Amino acid sequence: MSIEGTRLAGRYRVTARLGAGGHGTVYAAQDERLRRLVAVKLLTENADPELLARFQREAEILAMIKHPNVVAIFDVGRHDDGAAFVVMEHLAGPNLAHVQFDAGCLSVAQTLRYAVPVADALVCLHEHPTPVIHRDLKPQNLVLDADGTVKICDFGVSTVPEAMLTRLTRPGMVLGTAAYMSPEQWRGDDPDRATDIYSLGAVLYALLAGGPPLRMQGGPATCARRVEREAPEPIVDRCPSVPPALADLIHAMLAKSAAARPTARAVRDALRATATADAARSPAGDVDPAVQEGDLLLAAGRYAEAARHFTDLAHRLRDVGDVDPVTRVAAEFGRVRSRFGLGEEAVASLRLVRLAARARAALGDDHPLVRQIDAYLDVKSR
């Protein structure tokens, strides 16, 4: 049922449906009192008391969390029909699932740009006086704002591991998203901080390799056995450009034993060190600013603008003549990704195959940009 135009609590006028998840539906709304755009998560109308309690607890805890990479909570309330809602900051998007889909796989630098602040947010959540475990970290729940800042969202299945709080999930209850769930989640065990570390490790693997560490095919029992027993393919086999230190960190985060995984603080510090080393190896000046500008448009989901930008850039480069081949290939790669984003699959697929061949001829099989294009081609060919 559409609720566009409805006023919640006489204040929040719903304007559009944004999506669903975590036992609720998220809408864009106008806060008519403060004259700002917000996001409103409306809980399922027939939610049971346990879910209502968890929903209320989510809002209470998150309202206490102040971190630039955690979605801000503004208000909670009840609609006329009794449905509970929580009011959050509105994020322009896209989420990292869309970013990864558009890119095929992200470069090490791009991945670290998102990974470091997310890990820092986990430090804040895990080390808060009232610690919070998210339990459903995945690319879809990592959303960009208008400035490109990544924020952790959707705490609908989060938990607060304190004995004095009422347990809000039943023993043995499995909550989370299959491809990013830890072995202990599949067993239905009580989650702890290491659960989020596993999920973040799976997210980093997916961003770099173009997909999660294990394929979740078959029923729940089959998936659970796979997660508990099957080792992921080494990430360097799927993405050779990943530095050894980062590869080791990701596989440590994916350890089957929760006790063997690093803490959020250790992960953040290791990611920061890797980002510093990566920046030293590949200074920003080596990447044409015009290519960077186009990549930012793609990351923001502004595909038509990105297509125009990369087309203009490619034309300018042809007019100049003597241009660095990396810049030329990067510009053409941006054009192809823009076309995929616009839904022009047939034309974009043909151009991608041709570009991959030209890139190998110009740069060699082992060039990082060639490997990125090949990985993107592999994802789009599935």
Which residues carry out catalysis?
136
- Our separate counts of H helices and E strands in the chain read 14, 8
- Edge-to-edge, what's the strand order for the sheet holding 7-8? 7-8, 12-21, 24-31, 36-43, 84-89, 73-78
Residues 329/355, Cβ–Cβ less than 8 Å: yes
Q: Residue 146 contacts by C-beta under 8 Å, 6 or more apart in sequence?
A: 92, 300
CA-to-CA distance for 15 and 204, rounded, in angstroms? 34
Q: End-to-end CA distance of the chain, in Å?
A: 35
Q: What is the DSSP letter of 95?
A: B
CA-to-CA distance for 57 and 59, rounded, in angstroms? 5
Q: What is the DSSP letter of 178?
A: G
Three-state DSSP class for residue 71: coil
Tokens for 115, please give them: 């990974």
Tokens for 67, please give them: 């971190």
Of 158, 160, 12, 166, the C-alpha closest to 76 is 12
Tokens for 11, please give them: 């204040």
| Rounded (10°) angle between helices 96-103 and 193-209 | 30
Of 311, 291, 299, 304, the C-alpha closest to 342 is 304
- CA torsion sign, 338 to 302 to 106 to 212? negative
Residues 274/282, Cβ–Cβ less than 8 Å: no
Three-state DSSP class for residue 53: helix
